[in-house]
Amino acid sequence: MKKSTDADVAMSKSAVKISSDLLSNPLCEQDPKFLEMVMALDTAMKRMDSFNQEKVNQIQKTVIEPLKKFSSVFPSLNMAVKKREQTLQDYKRLQSKVEKYEEKEKTGPVLAKLHQAREELRPVKEDFEAKNKQLLEEMPKFYSSRIDYFKPSFESLIRAQVVYYTEMHKIFGDLTEQIAEPGLTDEQREKENEAKLSELRALSIVADD
Domains and CATH numbers, the chain: 1-180 (1.20.1270.60)
Q: What per-residue confidence (pLDDT) applies to 107?
A: 87
Binned at pLDDT 50, 70 and 90, residue 132 comes out as very high
Distance in angstroms (rounded) separating the CA atoms of residues 134 and 76: 14
Distance in angstroms (rounded) separating the CA atoms of residues 97 and 112: 13
Q: What per-residue confidence (pLDDT) applies to 102?
A: 87
- One-letter amino acid of 54: E
**Range 60-84 average pLDDT:** 91
Distance in angstroms (rounded) separating the CA atoms of residues 175 and 192: 21
Q: What are the contacts of 46-52 at 24+ separation with CB within 8 A? A: 46/16, 46/19, 47/167, 47/171, 48/12, 48/15, 48/168, 48/171, 49/12, 49/13, 49/15, 49/16, 51/163, 51/164, 51/167, 51/168, 51/171, 52/8, 52/9, 52/11, 52/12, 52/164
For the cut 90, the answer to whether the pLDDT of residue 87 exceeds it is yes
pLDDT digits 0-9 by tens, 29-55: 888 888 999 999 999 999 999 999 999
Over its C-alpha atoms, the chain yields an Rg (Å, rounded) of 36
The residue length of the chain stands at 209
Whether the Cβ atoms of residue 140 and residue 77 lie closer than 8 Å to each other: no
- One-letter amino acid of 21: D
Q: What per-residue confidence (pLDDT) applies to 154?
A: 95
For the cut 60, the answer to whether the pLDDT of residue 209 exceeds it is no
Other CB atoms closer than 10 Å to residue 60's CB: what's the count? 13
Binned at pLDDT 50, 70 and 90, residue 207 comes out as low
Q: What per-residue confidence (pLDDT) applies to 74?
A: 85
**Range 160-183 average pLDDT:** 89
